[in-house]
Amino acid sequence: MQATYLANSHIDMRKQPIQKRAQLTIEAIFQATAQLVEREGMVGLTTNKIAAKAGFSVGTLYQYFASKDEIFRAMVQYSREAVLKELSSYLYRIETKTDPSEIDPEIFFRHYIRICIKGFAIGDEHKQVINRLCWLVETPEETTLTMKAMVDRLRACFKYIQHPYFSRMSSIRCYVLNRSLMGCLRSTALERLDIEDPQEFEDAFVEMILGQLQLQTTVN
C-alpha cells in the first residue's frame, strides 16, 4: 500500500495518519486484518487479535478504529479510492495528449483493464487477500458508488477527447461493459481463481469490449 496516499485520503477514522509512522500503523492494521480473515475467517475476529497480529497493543489500534467493522469500512474505502485515483490519473494522461486521434483504442482499453484487474481481482499475494476481503465486506451501496464513479469518469474522458471511435461508447454501453467487467473481477477474487495465463485473462476483457464496439459498427 502507498502510505503517502493514505495521508491524503478521506477515510473515516478516529485519528487521521499524518506522520509516516502513523501511516505505517494503519497499513499494518489492514494487512493483519486481511491475513487473519484469509486464515481464520471473520467469525471470531477481534480487535485484540488484529492488534496482536500487527505487532502492537489494542490501545494503539483504538486510536484509529473503534471496532473491526470500522477497519473493514476503512479498508474498502481506501482500496476503492486507490483504484479510482489510478484510473483517473491514467485518463488524465490520455486527455492531455496533443493529438487524440493518435490514441489506439485497443491500447487504451488494455491499460484501463489492467488497472482494474490489479485493483479489484489479482495482483501480488497481499493484494489478492485485500481484494477478497473488500468484496466480502463491501456493501451493495459501496459497490454501486464505485462503479458509478468509474463510468462517470470514463464518459467524461470520452467526451473531452472527442475521439470518433470512443463516441460509440454511450452511457448504456459504458454501464453494461463496466458491470460485466466488475462482475467477473468480483467472481475472480472471491472464487480464488487460479489464473494460469494472466495475458489471456486480460485479452478476454479487451476482446469483449472491442467486440461490442465492432458489433455496434456492423449494426449501424
Torsion sign across C-alpha atoms 138, 141, 142, 144: positive
What pLDDT is recorded for position 218?
42
Q: What is the pLDDT of residues 143-182, one digit of tens each?
A: 999 999 999 999 999 999 988 888 888 888 889 999 999 9
Residues 143 and 206 in one domain: yes
| % of the chain residues with pLDDT over 70 | 89
pTM: 0.83
Residues 148 and 174 in one domain: yes
What pLDDT is recorded for position 4?
37
| CATH value at residue 92 | 1.10.357
What pLDDT is recorded for position 1?
35
- Name the grid cell of 120: 479489484
Residues 108 and 210 in one domain: yes
Residues 51 and 118 in one domain: no
11 touches 29 (CB < 8 A): no
What pLDDT is recorded for position 29?
92
Domain annotation covers residue 68: no
Q: What is the pLDDT of residues 25-41, one digit of tens each?
A: 888 999 899 889 888 88
What pLDDT is recorded for position 17?
52
42 touches 136 (CB < 8 A): yes
Residues 56 and 11 in one domain: yes
Q: How many CB atoms lie within 10 A of CB 214?
A: 12
Residues 143 and 182 in one domain: yes
Domain that holds residue 196: 79-219
Residues 139 and 197 in one domain: yes
Closest CA to 181 of 156, 158, 201, 161: 201
Residues 121 and 87 in one domain: yes
Residues 96 and 154 in one domain: yes
In total, how many domains does the chain have? 2
- Spans of the chain, pLDDT less than 50: 1-10, 14, 215-220
Provide DSSP, 157-202.
Answer: HHHHHT-TTGGG--HHHHHHHHHHHHHHHHHHHHTT---S-HHHHH
